[in-house]
Structure 1
């Protein structure tokens, strides 16, 4: 008869000395990887001198945008409270918190709720929010969050 394999470990456990070796190797790799990514970002900023100008423009625009975003969120929270469906916590899509302002702007850019629903473009809204492209239920989840 075949041996009973239920409840048995799948791999042989590492001895204490082997564990220490693998941990020290893992830490060494992590630190070198992070320093490499830092170097890449500094090189990019040196190559393109116009990025500083672009950042200044973005900051000026974002000042106006922030005020607009705040006004939108205040109105949204007020409206939802009047409807007896207050927003108690900001919804998540995947493991990312949804920026309601970004979601609203993306929906408006594509023509609003009804047009997006008719054209089945909720996946595009999800993509604008920076969602995981492999998610299959993304469009439905995005629409439901927008409806709420």
Structure 2
């Protein structure tokens, strides 16, 4: 049972579900994107696999928009991110797979093809990789560079 509780015969709360909701922090990602990615991980942690995948798709689209890529459907936005060098060709393929999975949960007959935990975990791993490459790694490099330059007196 998700989002509920169990009563003892005395009417007291005995247990609360879920016991733990796991998210993930993305400190160098813009807040509106980071909070959506965190929510995707929270969804995964409670078994809401379709919700997790739909949110991962939203993260990809928000990343494109954050880089000024606002025209066209998501497939065109992904291609444009790669064209502009926001993401690599490998990340372009990852973004398209997230898009395909998101489309599947949004438009397909959900009763015919169940989405497994493993499916959702893999899609979120691709989302995390995109956020790492686009936001986290450049910010980390900038911090390391700044500390080095401060040690060297601005060299």
Q: State the TM-score bracket (shorter-chain normalisation).
A: under 0.3
Which structure would you say has the larger RCO, counting Cα contacts within 8 Å and 6 or more residues apart?
2
TM-score normalized with structure 1 length: 0.27
- Kindly name which structure, 1 or 2, has the bigger radius of gyration based on alpha carbons: 1
